[in-house]
């Protein structure tokens, strides 16, 4: 009798578990591909059934729309997708999803403005949240103690009012072909965020070109038809976001370069677009992890640099792969390099791998965190501001500390060209000298001197300079600022050739990436 009772209880427990699974979400609702007049809502259930969204401009809802569902695996689960259309631009909506008797909580979202509308907005960029088994809750921490807490403390109010979208340049999970990881390691920790803010990822190497990535995400289908969701672009206000696939082991990337070239050419004449953000997984250069560099990313960087030179529209490439934060800028172009890892993946600590101090990078930090981007579309002077919000690391934890920031304006207000002071029209009795220029005068009231570029040549055209050197006011490598106390108005040179006439010049840069014109050319002769 006791055995029968036990078996009955066991069967009831098993049935209860099955029923609970059937009456719950595998993946709670999340947002995709938002437009001023439409948005896609997706969720996953253990059972087949209706794909319905009830929505409206208040919690009373009042409207409904139906979509479709499809299998994620060979099992019974279904991924539901509903596109809401006929929405009003830049408007808050409330919604809930229904599959038969299964009904979600009520969430909200805000539609984007049209391109060209002067509406300020924020976005977040983060990457490499694949689970670290030694710290399995780190991505959950970054989202809920990092992003959600930061938004509340800085702005208050509702999340969609303060955050427009999230960019993720790859490595969402540790193993893209592992179905369970998508729920437990990515969607579950982030459900409070992505139920109210659309997410736009691109694949990293850990996605392994998995079908799950392309099933779970409905990205803009404006790439090449055969690879529509591998590369794409999305406009939000005055920003064009370009998603790219840097995994060359799965396909020939030359087709992507051609597509990117065409998109950038079209963007040249898009008067409503002031900034271009490109996200791709692999870095071109990486101070923390040289083996992670990809030359193919360098091709993308060069295309973005050329675009910014031609149009005057600043560009940013967001990447990951190296598990830490880096921010740098191209020397001759209005272009930023930003590594937005790590949002959960194990930190690539200083000294753990082969590294290198690159001139381009101002700061590299072995830490967890995310990047907050504010876009100010002020038609008179549009700008973007980036802040690194740090969670620190295991040795030095931080609670949403701002560890780096930069602002870039579209309109270039050059600093005043410096004056070459000495040596000037004189003979030098040594082969070791110090070039000296005048003080810095910015083009903006807030401008400060952040870089100098020196050239020395034996001809006045500087076609083949013997010295072509630039330094920034800060160069954080490990925990050391290698440019501390450096006077950017002078530069020491050694090993000059005797009995040689030299020509030299210098230009200054401010913290907004604006270069001055070159100084007038000065000359001297060594004895």
Q: Tell me the pLDDT tens digit for each residue of 68-89.
A: 999 999 888 999 999 999 999 9
The pTM of the whole model exceeds 0.75: yes
Does residue 25 share a domain with residue 146? no
Does residue 400 share a domain with residue 299? yes
Query: What average pLDDT does the segment 176-181 reach?
Result: 97
Does residue 156 share a domain with residue 71? no
Does residue 305 share a domain with residue 222? yes
Q: What is the CATH number of the domain that holds 157?
A: 3.60.21.10
What is the distance between the alpha carbons of residues 493 and 510, in angstroms, rounded to a whole number? 24
Does residue 213 share a domain with residue 168? yes
303: tokens are 């295309």
Residue 430: HSE in the Cβ half-sphere, 13 Å Cα cutoff: 7
Q: What is the DSSP string of 299-365?
A: HHHHHHHHHHHHH---EEEEE-SSSSEEEEE-SSSSEEEEEE--SSSPP--TTSS-----TTEEEEE
Q: What distances in angstroms separate CA 27 from CA 33, 79, 163, 277, 486, one per listed residue? A: 18, 9, 22, 29, 53
Query: DSSP assignment, residue 18?
Result: H
Query: What average pLDDT does the segment 266-294 reach?
Result: 97
Does residue 117 share a domain with residue 102? no
Predicted confidence band at 465 (pLDDT cuts at 50, 70, 90)?
very high
Question: Where are the extended beta strands (E) located within 126-198?
Answer: 165-168
pLDDT confidence of residue 2? 54
pLDDT confidence of residue 71? 95
Q: What is the CATH number of the domain that holds 83?
A: 2.60.40.380
For the chain, percent of residues with pLDDT exceeding 70: 96
Neighbours of 98 (CB within 10 A): 19
pLDDT confidence of residue 4? 60
Query: What average pLDDT does the segment 282-308 reach?
Result: 97
Task: Evaluate whether residue 414 is within a structural domain.
Answer: no
Q: Do the beta carbons of residue 242 and residue 260 sit within 8 Å? A: yes
Whether residue 55 is predicted with pLDDT greater than 80 in this model: the reply is: yes
Domain boundary among 409, 434, 458: 409
Burial 326-343 (b: 16+ CB within 10 A, else e): bbbbbbebbbbbbbbbbb
Task: Evaluate whether residue 97 is within a structural domain.
Answer: yes
Query: DSSP assignment, residue 438?
Result: P
Q: What is the DSSP string of 191-220?
A: HHHHTTS-EEE---GGGTT-HHHHHH----
Task: Evaluate whether residue 415 is within a structural domain.
Answer: no
Does residue 163 share a domain with residue 141? yes
Predicted confidence band at 65 (pLDDT cuts at 50, 70, 90)?
very high
Task: Evaluate whether residue 117 is within a structural domain.
Answer: yes
Domains held by the chain: number: 3
Domain boundary among 53, 82, 108: 108
pLDDT confidence of residue 173? 98
Nearest CA among 232, 206, 205 for reference residue 217: 232
Residue numbers of the domain that contains 520: 420-526
Task: Evaluate whether residue 279 is within a structural domain.
Answer: yes
Does residue 249 share a domain with residue 356? yes
Task: Evaluate whether residue 61 is within a structural domain.
Answer: yes
What is the distance between the alpha carbons of residues 112 and 115, in angstroms, rounded to a whole number? 9
Does residue 75 share a domain with residue 210? no
Does residue 330 share a domain with residue 263? yes
Query: What average pLDDT does the segment 484-511 reach?
Result: 95
Whether residue 11 is predicted with pLDDT greater than 70 in this model: the reply is: no
Does residue 268 share a domain with residue 394? yes
Largest separation between any pair of C-alpha atoms in the chain: 111
Domain boundary among 55, 83, 108: 108
Burial 135-157 (b: 16+ CB within 10 A, else e): eeebbbbbbbebbbebbeeeeee
Q: What is the CATH number of the domain that holds 492?
A: 2.60.40.10
Query: What average pLDDT does the segment 38-45 reach?
Result: 98
Task: Evaluate whether residue 182 is within a structural domain.
Answer: yes
Task: Evaluate whether residue 274 is within a structural domain.
Answer: yes
Does residue 100 share a domain with residue 122? no
In sequence order, the 6+-apart residues with CB closer than 8 A to the CB of 318 are: 125, 127, 167, 169, 277, 278, 279, 280, 338, 339, 340, 371
């Amino acid at each position: 009798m006791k055995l029968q009772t036990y078996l009955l209880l066991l069967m009831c427990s098993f049935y209860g578990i099955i029923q609970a699974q059937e009456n719950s979400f595998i993946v709670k609702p999340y947002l995709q591909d938002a437009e001023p007049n439409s948005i896609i809502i997706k969720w996953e259930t253990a059972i087949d059934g209706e794909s319905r969204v009830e929505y409206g401009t208040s919690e009373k809802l009042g409207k409904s729309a139906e979509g479709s569902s499809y299998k994620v695996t060979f099992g019974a689960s279904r991924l539901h997708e509903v596109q809401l259309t006929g929405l009003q631009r830049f408007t808050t909506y409330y919604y809930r999803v229904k599959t038969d008797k299964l009904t979600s909580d009520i969430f909200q979202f805000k539609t984007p403005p049209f391109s060209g509308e002067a509406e300020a907005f924020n976005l977040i960029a983060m990457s490499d949240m694949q689970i670290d088994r030694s710290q399995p809750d780190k991505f959950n921490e970054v989202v809920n103690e990092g992003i959600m807490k930061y938004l509340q403390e800085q702005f208050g109010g509702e999340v969609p009012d303060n955050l427009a979208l999230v960019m993720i340049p790859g490595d969402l999970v540790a193993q893209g072909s592992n179905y369970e990881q998508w729920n437990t390691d990515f969607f579950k920790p982030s459900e409070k965020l992505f139920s109210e803010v659309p997410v736009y990822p691109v694949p990293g190497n850990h996605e392994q070109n998995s079908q799950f990535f392309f099933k779970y995400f409905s990205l803009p289908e404006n790439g090449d038809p055969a690879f529509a969701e591998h590369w794409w672009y999305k406009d939000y206000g005055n920003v064009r976001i370009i998603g790219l696939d840097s995994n060359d082991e799965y396909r020939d990337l030359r087709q992507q370069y051609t597509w990117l070239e065409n998109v950038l050419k079209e963007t040249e004449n898009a008067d409503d677009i002031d900034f271009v953000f490109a996200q791709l997984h692999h870095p071109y250069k990486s101070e923390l992890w040289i083996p992670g560099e990809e030359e193919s990313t360098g091709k993308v960087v060069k295309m973005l640099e050329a675009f910014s030179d031609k149009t005057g529209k600043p560009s940013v490439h967001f990447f990951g792969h190296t598990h830490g934060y880096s921010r740098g800028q191209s020397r001759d172009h209005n272009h930023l390099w930003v590594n937005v890892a790590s949002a959960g993946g194990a930190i690539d600590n200083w000294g753990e791998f082969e590294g290198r101090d690159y001139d381009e990078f101002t700061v590299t930090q072995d830490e967890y965190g995310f990047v907050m981007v504010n876009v100010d579309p002020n038609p008179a002077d549009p700008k973007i501001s980036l802040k690194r919000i740090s969670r620190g690391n295991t040795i030095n934890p931080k609670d949403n500390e701002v560890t780096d920031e930069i602002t870039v304006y579209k309109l270039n207000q050059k600093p005043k060209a410096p004056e070459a002071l000495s040596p000037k029209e004189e003979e030098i009795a040594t082969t070791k000298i110090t070039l000296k220029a005048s003080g810095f005068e910015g083009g903006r009231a807030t401008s400060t001197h952040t870089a100098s570029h020196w050239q020395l040549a034996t001809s006045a055209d500087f076609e083949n300079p013997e010295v072509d050197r630039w330094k920034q006011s800060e160069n954080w490598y490990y925990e050391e600022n290698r440019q501390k106390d450096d006077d950017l108005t002078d530069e020491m040179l050694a090993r000059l050739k005797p009995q040689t006439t030299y020509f030299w010049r210098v230009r200054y840069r401010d913290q907004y990436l604006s270069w001055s014109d070159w100084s007038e050319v000065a000359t001297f002769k060594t004895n």
